[in-house]
């Protein structure tokens, strides 16, 4: 996945991201070494120094691997050209789907059971989409249009639905835990019990069909 | 997530445009010479330079100011417990140590990514 990302991201951006992660990792490893020195009162035995060395390397390798593989998840695929069959760029199925949603907007898309976790779908047109049991955890759905979509049993935990449009959306058994719903617009939704409705309103959601309680002056 | 909507992105200023141009040409040249391996090579060199500046600087400054060359933690304990040299020594040795940990870790991390990429059968594997 990272190769695709490298083709999408300019060297300038990659160099910048590399430097900031380098500083972060240096800080973490340095803090670990200082802690090790404090715990051993400045006189660490050889085996502790050796273990710190190998643990440090393993931590940095893990962190770097995580960063380089994860970057595609936050990559903005809008405008990316994947139409050329001879293009060396090869995305796995998940990111192809994301690319299609972002760049080939169409209503009534069938995405039932799709894994779209962590995807950048901001401003995506998912109108009337079939998203039953889809995994949209931690996805970026800012200002997305989810009107008339079927999100029953979908996982929206941690998703960012700020300012999204969810008019007549079916949310039966959808998991909205930790989802950001500030200014998300709800109306005529199926499967939202009153308790969840109040909870969503408290989190900043707007229910057009729910009488808003005027705040006392 | 780190995404920014297009509305939030600020247009690059003159200096950024200049840097972008340099990087663009450098990327073009590097790719022509090394193909996909270029990015990994570039990032490893950048890491080495950045770490050299970040972590070898304390050791260099220490050598000039204190006039001593600290190479291991044992040496630090021989310094006066109330003196600056002892703590400077700890920082210098720890930063030297840190440099190799980060450099080795990052190269291994990237190698790991490339390897898993190859295993997944991506034709773009640069290894």
Using CA atoms, how far apart are residues A29 and B101, in angstroms rounded to an integer?
Answer: 8
Q: B110: Cβ–Cβ under 8 A, 6 or more apart, which residues?
A: A64, A65, A68, B40, B43, B44
Hey, is the C-beta of A39 within 8 angstroms of any chain B C-beta?
A: no
H or E stretch at A187: strand A185-187
Question: For position A78, what pLDDT does the model report?
Answer: 53
Nearest Cα residue in chain A from B2: A74
Using CA atoms, how far apart are residues A29 and B97, in angstroms rounded to an integer?
Answer: 10
Query: Rg (Cα) of chain B, in Å, rounded?
Result: 21
Question: For position B10, what pLDDT does the model report?
Answer: 57
Considering the domain boundaries, does residue B104 fall inside one? yes
The mean pLDDT of A18-29, rounded to a whole number, is 89
Question: For position A89, what pLDDT does the model report?
Answer: 43
Question: For position A217, what pLDDT does the model report?
Answer: 46
- Residue range B26-81, pLDDT digits in tens: 888 888 888 777 888 888 888 888 888 887 787 788 778 877 777 777 788 787 77
Lowest mean pLDDT among A5-19, A173-187, B18-32: A5-19
**Gap from B101 CA to chain A (nearest CA, Å):** 5
Question: For position B105, what pLDDT does the model report?
Answer: 92
Q: Residue A29 and residue B101: Cβ atoms within 8 Å? A: yes
- Residue range A163-175, pLDDT digits in tens: 898 988 999 889 8
Task: Give the confidence band of A4 by pLDDT, cuts at 50, 70, 90.
Answer: very low
Task: Give the confidence band of B121 by pLDDT, cuts at 50, 70, 90.
Answer: low
Does the pLDDT at position A178 exceed 80? yes
Considering the domain boundaries, does residue B45 fall inside one? yes
Question: For position B123, what pLDDT does the model report?
Answer: 47
Nearest Cα residue in chain A from B21: A12
For B126, list phi and psi in degrees, rounded to 5.
-85, -10
Count Cβ atoms below 10 Å from residue A212 Cβ, excluding itself: 9
Does the pLDDT at position A72 exceed 60? no
The mean pLDDT of A30-48, rounded to a whole number, is 87
Q: Domain A92-210: which CATH class? A: mainly beta
Backbone dihedral region for residue B95 (phi beyond 0: left; psi -120 to 50: alpha; all else: beta): alpha
Considering the domain boundaries, does residue B126 fall inside one? no
| Residues within 8 A of A (CB atoms), B 40-99 only | 42-43, 46-47, 50-51, 54-55, 73-74, 76-77, 86, 90, 94-95, 97-98
The whole-model pTM stands at 0.52
Q: Give the whole-number percent of chain B exceeding pLDDT 90.
A: 3
Question: For position A58, what pLDDT does the model report?
Answer: 93
Domain with CATH 2.160.20.80 in chain A: 92-210
Considering the domain boundaries, does residue B15 fall inside one? no
Hey, is the C-beta of B104 within 8 angstroms of any chain A C-beta?
A: yes
Residues of B whose CB is below 8 A from A143: 5
**Gap from A90 CA to chain B (nearest CA, Å):** 7
Nearest Cα residue in chain B from A117: B1
Question: For position A92, what pLDDT does the model report?
Answer: 59
Q: Give the whole-number percent of chain B exceeding pLDDT 70.
A: 84
Q: B68: Cβ–Cβ under 8 A, 6 or more apart, which residues?
A: B62, B85, B89
Task: Considering only residues A108 and A149, tell me which one the structure prediction assigns the higher pLDDT.
Answer: A149
Average pLDDT over chain B, rounded to an integer = 76
Domain around B49: 35-119
Token pair of A125, please? Answer: 């047109």
Q: Which range has highest mean pLDDT (A56-70, A74-88, B11-25, B73-87)?
A: A56-70
- Residue range A41-71, pLDDT digits in tens: 878 888 888 898 999 999 999 998 888 876 5
Using CA atoms, how far apart are residues B121 and B127, in angstroms rounded to an integer?
Answer: 12
Hey, is the C-beta of B26 within 8 angstroms of any chain A C-beta?
A: yes
Question: For position A56, what pLDDT does the model report?
Answer: 92
Question: For position A80, what pLDDT does the model report?
Answer: 52
Hey, is the C-beta of B24 within 8 angstroms of any chain A C-beta?
A: yes
Q: Is the ipTM of this complex over 0.85?
A: no
Q: Residue B106 and residue A61: Cβ atoms within 8 Å? A: yes
Q: Residue B51 and residue A1: Cβ atoms within 8 Å? A: no
Number of domains in chain B: 1
Considering the domain boundaries, does residue B49 fall inside one? yes
In eight-state DSSP terms, residue A106 is: -
- Best probe of the B interface among A3, A55, A121, by most B CBs < 10 A, is A3
Considering the domain boundaries, does residue B29 fall inside one? no
Nearest Cα residue in chain A from B29: A11
Q: Residue B3 and residue A63: Cβ atoms within 8 Å? A: no
Does the pLDDT at position A100 exceed 80? no
């Amino acid at each position: 996945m990272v190769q695709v990302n490298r083709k999408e991201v300019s060297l300038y951006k990659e160099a910048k991201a590399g430097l900031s992660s380098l500083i972060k990792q240096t800080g973490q490893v340095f803090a670990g070494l200082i802690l090790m020195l404090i715990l051993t009162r400045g006189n660490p035995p050889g085996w502790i120094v050796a273990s710190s060395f190998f643990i440090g390397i393993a931590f940095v390798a893990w962190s770097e691997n995580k960063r380089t593989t994860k970057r595609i998840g936050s990559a903005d695929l809008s405008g990316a050209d994947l139409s050329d069959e001879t293009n060396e760029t090869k995305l796995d199925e998940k990111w192809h789907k994301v690319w299609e949603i972002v760049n080939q907007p169409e209503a009534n898309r069938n995405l039932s059971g799709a894994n779209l976790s962590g995807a950048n779908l901001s401003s995506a047109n998912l109108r009337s989409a079939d998203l039953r049991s889809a995994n949209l955890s931690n996805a970026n759905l800012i200002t997305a249009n989810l009107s008339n979509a079927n999100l029953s049993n979908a996982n929206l935990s941690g998703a960012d639905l700020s300012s999204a449009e969810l008019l007549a959306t079916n949310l039966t058994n959808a998991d909205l835990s930790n989802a950001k719903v500030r200014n998300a617009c709800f109306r005529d939704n199926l499967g939202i019990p009153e308790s969840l409705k109040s909870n969503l309103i408290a989190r900043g959601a707007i229910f057009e069909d729910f009488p808003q309680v005027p705040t006392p002056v | 997530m780190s995404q920014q909507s297009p509305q939030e992105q600020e247009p690059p200023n003159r200096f950024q445009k200049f840097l972008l141009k340099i990087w663009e040409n450098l990327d073009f040249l590097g790719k022509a010479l090394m193909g996909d391996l270029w990015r990994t090579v570039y990032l490893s060199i950048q890491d080495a330079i950045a770490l050299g500046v970040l972590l070898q600087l304390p050791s260099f400054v220490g050598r000039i100011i204190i006039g001593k060359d600290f190479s291991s933690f044992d040496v630090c304990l021989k310094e006066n417990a109330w003196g600056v040299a002892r703590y400077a020594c700890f920082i210098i040795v720890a930063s030297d140590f840190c440099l190799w940990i980060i450099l080795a870790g990052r190269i291994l991390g990237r190698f790991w990514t490339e390897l898993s990429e190859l295993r997944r059968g991506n034709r773009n594997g640069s290894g």
